[in-house]
Structure 1
Amino acid sequence: MSALIGPNAVLQLLPLIEPGFLARLGMEPPSDHGLMPEEPAHRLHAAVRDLPQAPAILAEAGRRTGEYILAHRIPRPAQRLLRVLPRGMGVRILSQAIARNAWTFAGSGAFAVEAPGRFRLERNPLIKGETSARPLCHWHVAVFDRLFQSLVSPDLRFHETACAACGDPACRFELSPAGQSR
């Protein structure tokens, strides 16, 4: 049986790509109920990365995925609570919640919180087998950005500090205030 991933890795890309893009890849849109095999999600992300505007498309799909999570997956009372907590506590709690639900985007990969706001994703299914001189995980960064900016503080930004596609052992993501990169 193949590893599974949440369908938003694909569904939120669909409005951003031209009609027929999926068909050219021999793919059908996934159901929005349940999980989907990670291989088609990887195939679509790899095909989108071949487009000149790939970083912007993947970032917008990640932002939309974050919006979907806010609208459908995080209860409103929990959102209100996170917004009023001190920043450090909010970062810690949201990091833990992401780790508990990482199976939706990590698939066969291994996700870990190294510290609040610092994540590691080994064997990232959306970039497996890829090589690049630059980090490729624009979708992940945008999902994390949208959640943390909405629920903790609008001035927080994630940066991909290491990418498996660049030869690093894992993809690493780190949170910092806007204007600071690590």
Structure 2
Amino acid sequence: MAKIGPNAILQLVPVLEDAAGPDAVAHMLALAGLSDLPDPEEGLMEEAPAARLHQVMRAEMPDVAPMLADAAGRRTGDYILANRIPPAAQAVLKCLPARLAAPMLAKAVAKHAWTFCGSGVFRLVSTWPVVFEIADNPVVRGEHAATPLCHWHAAVFGRLFSALCGPGWHCAEVGCCAQGARACRFELVRSG
């Protein structure tokens, strides 16, 4: 049974509640097969219902799903910064020039990819420029779309790099499994 970090849904649910209200969220959770939210202290959760909640959100709220996934991804990044990356490591990264900090952070992201890509296959394509791929991404598995769907992943990556490697980082998903690509491909660029 594949596992994923519980923040894949724990940071999404409050965003959904703000946008649609508790009744709509209860409906979406039921459609995703989630009777209870996971306890973040219990570690990883089953991947399938977490992925289904993202898919249900896209089906039920297609016009605002990208914006909601982006907000949940930024919240997930904030959670990671507050709870998962030691303050000393954050301080070191913030003191380094982006050309040195970004590759270090990219390697750390790759080392912990199991927490956000579940049964998908993560690959660090390049550390400068920073490029990630997730093949067989469970968050979009089985979906078909004309545009990339992984706004949550892109927002997590963008938030972490902007906080730790200098402001102005943006993560763009330039190819998505839902579009028929071999892998969801994320490119990080810094403006300015």
TM-score for both structures, normalised by structure 2:
0.89
Query: 5 Å matches for 1:129-140?
Result: 129-140=142-153
Q: 1:38-88 CA deviation, whole Å, 9 max, x = no partner?
A: 100111000111202100110000000000000000000100100011111
Partner amino acid for 1:66?
A: G
**Other-structure match for 2:43:** 34
Runs of at least 4 residues of structure 1 off by over 3 A? 23-26
* 1:120 and 2:137 matched: no
Distance 2:48 2:33 in 1: 12
Q: Which runs of 5+ in 1 are unaligned?
A: none
* 1:5 and 2:4 matched: yes
Partner secondary structure for residue 127 of structure 1: coil
Work out which of the residue numbers 66, 69, 76 in structure 2 matches 1:65. 76
**Other-structure match for 2:160:** 147
- Matched residues, percent identical? 49
Choose between structure 1 and 2: higher helix proportion: 2
Partner amino acid for 1:160?
A: E
Partner secondary structure for residue 90 of structure 1: helix
**Other-structure match for 1:49:** 58
RMSD: 1.2
Q: 1:152-181 CA deviation, whole Å, 9 max, x = no partner?
A: 0111111111101001000000011238xx
Distance 2:31 2:155 in 1: 26
**Other-structure match for 1:80:** 91
Partner secondary structure for residue 118 of structure 1: strand
Distance 2:91 2:174 in 1: 30
Q: Deviation of residue 29 (structure 1)?
A: 1.1
Give the aligned length. 178
Deviates more, 1:17-26 or 1:135-144: 17-26
Conserved in 1, the CA contact under 8 Å of 2:31 and 2:56?
no
Partner amino acid for 2:152?
A: W
Partner amino acid for 1:107?
A: G
**Other-structure match for 1:94:** 105
Partner amino acid for 2:187?
A: E
Q: Deviation of residue 125 (structure 1)?
A: 1.0
* CA gap 1:31/1:93 in 2 versus in 1, 3 angstroms: same
* CA gap 1:111/1:24 in 2 versus in 1, 3 angstroms: closer
